[in-house]
Amino acid sequence: MCAGFNPIAEYEARTKKSRQWFHEASDHLPGGVTGNVKFYKPYPICAARAKGSHLWDLDGNDYIDYMLCFGPLILGHGHPRVIKAIQDQLERDGTTIFGPPHELETKMAERLNRIFPCAERTRFTNSGLEATLHALRVARGYKRKNRIAKFEGHYHGCYDEVLVSLTPSEEIAGPEVAPQSVSCSLGTSDYTLQSVQVLPFNDVESSVRLLKAHKNDLAALIMEPVQRGFVAADPEFLKAIREVTDDLDIILIFDEVMSGFRMDRLGGAQTMFGVTPDMMCLGKIIGGGFPCGAFLGRKDIMDVVNPATRAKDQRVFHGGTFNGHPTVLAAGMATLDVLEEPETYPYLNRITAKLQDGLNDLFERLGVVAQAIGPGSTFNIVFGDQKICDYRDALLCDEKKRQIFDFGMLARGIHYHPDKPLYTSTAHTDEDIDQALKTAEEVLKLMGS
Ligand SMILES: Cc1ncc(COP(=O)(O)O)c(C=O)c1O
């Protein structure tokens, strides 16, 4: 590293008001944040305003934003069509929310059922977390079985079952071919650990063996077809998982909260891979920047929540005061309007490839052992040259180098959450990408690679 290069000190020097805010916020919010993922050391920037591809912090620093609130803002901040849709809805409907069912719910459900191959029926929720939680309960209710399977390192929200084996250390994770059910949060009961079968991602043989061994009590297998937005399933692996879950009569749920609209085309990972699950979950983008989620799937399975056809003791409970919120759906519909225009995905693909390939070219040219990996309009940067196929491979990357790189970028006006994937949007311009690449080159040279 070049003598005197200290990106964390640079960051602190530029973000004095954010530091001040952090100290005040910490008196009221644990860690100054409303969710653990929003925190990073020494303190996160405090956002003041945002527009398009840009975000400004309390100190007035102008950033090109590649965080986009962990993915939902695929049209950038404050897209005019989204803002107009919200204003129109409020004016037209005369209220923020009705209570009784309303037409927009049906229109959005019809649209999602058309876009996603596995979707015949939809129910809305207020977050991705709720979507996976309800999908799993529906699966258990439909199959009348108690246990579920998930992959090590896959994220489905922050509740007991799906936090199992999310980020286990290597010491406690168990054998790679038969991972242990490991608690990744205090408060996880032994019962929860026992009710989750953990599988190794992208390992056909071990996953099939474990599914066969536990087939009698497994209701569902939930998975991210693209782990954490950047480790894609091997297409053959995904096909094998589809086949074996079919054979064993286990409901296959794709959690597409992240991948739903961030692959290289409309229709999510299931369309890109040509593998149709039984159920799926959505979130993030379908709310156009508002809290939203949905679980969708085959009619016969989804019907297990149907109060019109099923007696109380024969159905799964699904509720939520704010489900299908009109303002949220108006913002989501406006977002999907833009995403369904023929030029949108080609633009997103081009702009993402320019950044991702540009970074990989830089790594090669400067002899940096790093990779920018991931399909669609999300990718991650890992410092390491090993092929990343699963959680354990990702554990071997150089976190310290990544931290130095991230703070070097942040201190020079390129914003994303340290150690997390980067997201692009239709608001990002060629100039934004050129600026990010120029900054990355400067930082990598200072890192002395
Ligand atoms: C794949 C996946 N599933 C579920 C969730 C949870 O969504 P939410 O944060 O809206 O609860 C996330 C959030 O990042 C996610 O990436």
- Kindly give the distance from the C-alpha atom of residue 293 to the centroid of ligand 1, in angstroms, as a whole number: 9
- Kindly give the distance from the C-alpha atom of residue 274 to the centroid of ligand 1, in angstroms, as a whole number: 23
List of domains in the chain: 7-78+344-447 (3.90.1150.10), 80-339 (3.40.640.10)
Whole-angstrom distance, CA of residue 356 vs CA of residue 369: 15
Q: What is the mean pLDDT of each run of 10 residues along the chain (449 residues)?
A: 92 98 97 97 98 98 98 98 98 97 98 98 98 98 98 97 96 96 95 97 98 98 98 98 98 98 98 98 98 98 98 97 98 98 98 98 98 98 96 95 98 98 98 98 91
330 lines ligand 1 (CB under 6 A): no
- Kindly give the distance from the C-alpha atom of residue 128 to the centroid of ligand 1, in angstroms, as a whole number: 5
157 lines ligand 1 (CB under 6 A): yes
| Contacts for 364 with CB less than 8 Å, ≥ 6 apart | none
- Kindly give the distance from the C-alpha atom of residue 223 to the centroid of ligand 1, in angstroms, as a whole number: 12
Q: Report the nearest atom of ligand 1 relative to the CA of 127.
A: 10
152 lines ligand 1 (CB under 6 A): no
Whole-angstrom distance, CA of residue 71 vs CA of residue 420: 11
255 lines ligand 1 (CB under 6 A): yes
* pTM metric for this prediction: 0.98
User: How would you class 393 by CB atoms within 10 Å of its CB: exposed for 0-12, middle for 13-18, buried for 19 or more?
Assistant: middle
Whole-angstrom distance, CA of residue 330 vs CA of residue 129: 21
- What residues are annotated to the active site? 155, 255, 284
- Give me the phi and psi of 263, to 5 degrees please: -85, -170
pLDDT of residue 38: 97
Q: Which of 129, 254, 292 to mutate to test the pocket of ligand 1 (most atoms within 8 A of CB)?
A: 129
260 lines ligand 1 (CB under 6 A): no
136 lines ligand 1 (CB under 6 A): no
pLDDT of residue 448: 87
Q: Letter for the amino acid at 428?
A: H
pLDDT of residue 449: 56
Q: Report the nearest atom of ligand 1 relative to the CA of 130.
A: 11
**HEC secondary structure over the chain:** CCCCCCHHHHHHHHCHHHHHHHHHHHCCCHHHCCCHHHCCCCCCCCEEEEEECEEEECCCCEEEECCCCCCCCCCCECCHHHHHHHHHHHHHHCCCCCCCCCHHHHHHHHHHHHHCCCCCEEEEECCHHHHHHHHHHHHHHHHCCCEEEEECCCCCCCCHHHHCCCCCCCCCCCCCCCCCCCCCCCCCCHHHHHCEEEECCCCHHHHHHHHHHCHHHEEEEEECCEECCCEECCHHHHHHHHHHHHHHCCEEEEECCCCCCCCCCCCHHHHHHCCCCCEEEEEHHHHECECCEEEEECHHHHHHHCCCCCCHHHCCCCCCCCCCCHHHHHHHHHHHHHHCCCCHHHHHHHHHHHHHHHHHHHHHHHCCCCEEECCCCEEEEECCCCCCCCHHHHHCCCHHHHHHHHHHHHCCCEECCCCCCEECCCCCCHHHHHHHHHHHHHHHHHHCC
Q: Letter for the amino acid at 313?
A: D
Whole-angstrom distance, CA of residue 237 vs CA of residue 400: 32
Q: Which of 155, 223, 285, 328 to mutate to test the pocket of ligand 1 (most atoms within 8 A of CB)?
A: 155
Q: Which residues pair with 296 in a beta bridge?
A: 122, 280
- Kindly give the distance from the C-alpha atom of residue 80 to the centroid of ligand 1, in angstroms, as a whole number: 26
As a dihedral over the C-alpha atoms of residue 344, residue 233, residue 378, residue 407, rounded to 10 degrees, the angle is -170
